[in-house]
Amino acid sequence: MKNNQFNKIQCGFLGLLTFAFISCSGDDDYQEPKPLVEVPDNFPSFIDSQTNPLSKDGIALGKKLFYDKTLSGNNNVSCASCHLPELAFSDGVALSNVGVSGNQLHRNAPALINLAWATNGLFWDGGSTNLESQAFAPLSHPDEMFQNLNQLIQELEAKTEYITLFQKAFGQPVSQTGIVKALAQFQRTLVSGNSKYDKFVRNEADGILNEAELDGLALAEQFCFSCHQTPLLTDNQYHNNGLDDDFSNTAFEGMLQGRYRVTNDINDLGKFKTPTLRNIEKTAPYMHDGRFSTLEEVIDHYRFGVKNSPSLASQLNQNNTLGIPLSQTEKNNLIAFLKTLTDEEFLNNPRFK
């Protein structure tokens, strides 16, 4: 009751302020502000966080934190240690061991691409609900950054520029929640949608696919896009793509059981999140555990290696035939198409470095 009234009053003030601004600003020196995030025309509209909306200062702080090794317990690991911009924010190794403990992780570091639209869970099993909450896991895990979250505040405050940057971004002192909010804002700006394929879709001048690439696109439409849905080239869903057929190993808190670990639903055994195909040329090795080193190996898995189990994606078991039938030429053409999804502007974007 009183809250409503309070909100109305705030609205009253805002209305007043808006009026005051309008009455004293001239049109002649008005410049369209540079957008905080550039969204391609062939994308769905940008989904901002209602509780952590983008701001210029929040993004800038997030970028600085993303590359700052102070965020790890031994001050040797930053987010960028496993999320390199030139590899579409993946790390190029199957299972990293660059964390504080030196232990090998159990899952492949995912690329960070178009995460603003990744609203159906993060991590390979979707266990994390949003980018803000997600950040606490790598920050605190002994095999990753193993940062004492209490101490981190003192360490950042010791670098006095951070005191100013947190004030500018959030109007508050350095805080754990400010850290994860800023990191989330920066990550939501990592939009990739300027590949040759995108330019082809948008009928832009340099968006020309050759014959092999066009054939590969047709094959992708037939066999890949049901899960790797356009335009994001992921459906943000979880599927068992036939990598394994035995999910009885409960080791590492169920890490090997896929989405089942989160839902405890046997239909989710062996299901992992569909990764985007965008920049796939740069994000080897592939799959949740990095078991395939090359795109050739990935496609050969779908041709010859699919294993059957009750939760297998139905697309991979059509007419009692496992996998996707592709000739050697078709495989080559599909790979040619997949390479049109490389977005050099994204990989080299100075705003992200």
Partner 1 sequence: MKTFKNIALTLLSSTLFFACSSDDDNNTTQAKANANVTFDARVGSADFALDTPYTINGTSYQFDGLRYWVGNVEFVNANNETVAFEDSYFLMEETKAVAVQEGDFTYPAKKRETFGLNNLPVGNYTKIRFTVGVDAVYNDNLSLQAGELSQLNGMTNISWMWHTSYIFSSLKGKNTASNQAITVETGLNANYRTVEITLATPFEVKANQVNTLGLNVDVAKIVDGIDLAATPTVSASTPTVMSAVANNFRDKVFSVKSVE
The smaller minimum CB distance to partner 1, of residues 13 and 21, is found at 13
CA distance 57 to 63: 10
Residue type, 70: T
Q: In the numeric block, which tokens belong to residue 285?
A: 């090795």
Instruction: Look up residue 240 and give its DSSP letter.
Output: B
Figure out which of the listed residues 17, 149, 208, 266 binds partner 1, where binding follows CB under 8 A: 149
The smaller minimum CB distance to partner 1, of residues 23 and 51, is found at 51
Which residues, 6+ apart, have CB-to-CB distance to 163 below 8 Å? 157, 173, 174
Least gap, CB of 291 to partner 1 (angstroms) = 21
Least Cα distance to 82 among 72, 90, 94 occurs for 90
Considering only residues 36 to 55 of the shown chain, the ones binding partner 1 according to CB under 8 A are 51-52
Ramachandran region of residue 272, left (φ > 0), alpha (ψ -120 to 50) or beta?
Answer: beta
Figure out which of the listed residues 66, 89, 117, 123 binds partner 1, where binding follows CB under 8 A: 123
Site for partner 1 contains 160 (CB under 8 A):
no
Query: Cβ atoms within 10 A of the Cβ of 333, count?
Result: 23
Considering only residues 223 to 252 of the shown chain, the ones binding partner 1 according to CB under 8 A are 250
Interacting span for partner 1 (CB under 8 A) from 34-42, 131-139, 319-327, 340-348:
131-139
Q: If binding means CB under 8 A, how many residues of this protein chain bind partner 1?
A: 42
Least gap, CB of 13 to partner 1 (angstroms) = 9
Figure out which of the listed residues 73, 110, 275, 290 binds partner 1, where binding follows CB under 8 A: 73
Site for partner 1 contains 127 (CB under 8 A):
yes
Mask of contacts with partner 1, 260-289, x by CB under 8 A?
-xx-x-------------------------
CA distance 177 to 65: 13
Query: Cβ(259)–Cβ(121) under 8 Å?
Result: no
The strand pair at 321-322 and 272-273 is best described as unpaired
Least Cα distance to 294 among 283, 302, 303 occurs for 283
Which positions lie near partner 1, rule CB under 8 A? 1-6, 8-9, 12, 51-52, 73, 123, 127-130, 132-134, 136-137, 140-142, 146-151, 176-177, 180-181, 184, 250, 253-254, 261-262, 264
